[in-house]
Amino acid sequence: MFHGIQVLRGVFSVLVVCHHMGVHAETYWHHDWLGGLFNQSTYRVDFFFVLSGFVLWTAHHSEAGRHGAWLGFIGKRLWRLYPLLVVLTLVKVVLLWLVPGRSAESYDLQPSLLALPQKSFPVIVAAWFLPSEIYFTLVLTAALALPRWASLPVLVIWAVGLFSVGILADVAPSTYGAGFFLHPFAVEFAAGALAADCVRRSAAGSKVSGILLSCLALTGLVAGALNHSWVAEHSVFWQKFFWAVVFSVGIGGFALWEQSVPAQNWHLKDVFCVGRASYSIFLSHGIALMGLSFFMKSRFAGLGGVWLDLLLLLMVWVSVLVGLAVWKYVERPLQRWLFVCSSSVLPRACNFCRIEKRA
C-alpha cells in the first residue's frame, strides 16, 4: 500500500471537482470562477490514467503467466467499476426527471449503464473515462495471460504502436470509433505500468532519487499547467505523451521516496481516505453540483465577485463530502453485499450444475 499515492489520488480527485465547478459556473452561473484558474488543461484526468496503469501493474504483475489468473483479474476489475456506476446512473436519471428544465431524454441510457464508447456524454458526465478504463482492463487482461517475461513488453509495444499509428494516420482522438481505440491515453496507462515495474525492481526505495524525480515532475506539472497555451499548441498525441512522462516520473518518484521512509514516519498515512473514495467522488460530484445549484441559484442570484467565488468553493467541498459519504455508505456496503452474495450464490450454482450433470 502506497499511502502517499492515495494522498495524491485524493488531491487530484478534488482538482477534478474544481475543474468541473469552473465549467459548471460558466454554464449555469455565468461566472468566471476564480478567474478560470481550474478551467484550462485536462492534466487531472491524465494523472488518473497514469495512476491506473501504476496501481494495476503493482497489484497484479505477479499474476502474469499464472493459469486462469487473468480471469480473476478481469472479474475483480469489472466488479469494482460497474456496481456504483449502475446505481448512480439510475439515481441521476430519476433526479433529472424531478428537476425542472432537465431531462434524461438527451442521454443514451444503455451505453451509460454499460460504460460503452459513445459520441455524446453519458448520464454520469464524469464517467466518460470509464470506457477507456475498461478497454485498458481488457488489454491488461490479455497481457497477464502471457508468460510473465512478455506481459509488460507487450503492453508497452501495444501502446507505442497505437501512438505511432494515430500520428501517422492523423486520427483525431475521440470517445468513439477509431479515435477511441487509438487514443493516446494508452501511452499514459502503459507509462504508469512501466513506472510501477521500475519501482518494484527498486524494492528498498531511494530517498534522494525519489525526491529528485518528484521535484522534476512537479516542475513539469507547474510548467504545463501554467503554460497551457504552449501545451495546447501541440497535437493531442504529444500533449498526452508530455503528461505521461510527467506523471509516470512523479508517481514513480513519490513511490520510491515513500519506500525509503519507515511507515511510522509517513505522516500523511492517516489522510488518504479521500484517495480511497476517489471513484465515488468522481461519479457523484456532478449529481451533487446539479442539486446544489438547483437549490442555491435562486437564493443567491444576486451574489457576484468574491462572495460568489466563496459560495462555489463551498459547493466544491460539499460535493467532496458527498463523495466521501457515497464511498462510506454506498460503495463499500454495496461491494461487501455483492461479495457475500457471490460467495453464497456461485458455489451453490456450481454444485447444482454438477448434480444436474451427474443426473
Residues 99-144: pLDDT tens digits?
Answer: 766 676 778 889 999 999 998 899 999 999 999 999 999 999 999 9
Q: Number of folded domains in the chain?
A: 1
17 neighbors 316 (Cβ within 8 angstroms): yes
145 neighbors 134 (Cβ within 8 angstroms): no
Is 143 part of any domain? yes
State the alpha helices, DSSP H only, in 262-358.
273-276, 278-296, 305-326, 332-358
Q: Encode pLDDT of 65-88 as tens digits.
A: 888 888 888 888 988 999 999 999
Domain that holds residue 68: 40-266
**Is the pLDDT at 342 greater than 80, yes or no?**
no
| Residue 147 DSSP SS3 | coil
Is 73 part of any domain? yes
Mean pLDDT on 184-191: 95
> Per mean pLDDT, which range of 2-6, 7-11, 236-240 is the poorest?
2-6
How far apart are alpha carbons 43 and 98 in whole angstroms?
34
Is 319 part of any domain? no
Name the residue with higher pLDDT: 339 or 181: 181
Q: Which three cell numbers stand for residue 247?
A: 506523471
Is 306 part of any domain? no
Mean pLDDT on 151-180: 92
Is 58 part of any domain? yes
Is 30 part of any domain? no
Task: Output the pLDDT for position 356.
Answer: 46
Is 249 part of any domain? yes
Phi then psi for residue 31, to 5 deg, are: -135, 135
Q: Within 10 A of 10 (CB to CB), how many other CB atoms are there?
A: 22
Q: How many CA atoms lie within 13 A of 354 on its CB side?
A: 6
Is 187 part of any domain? yes
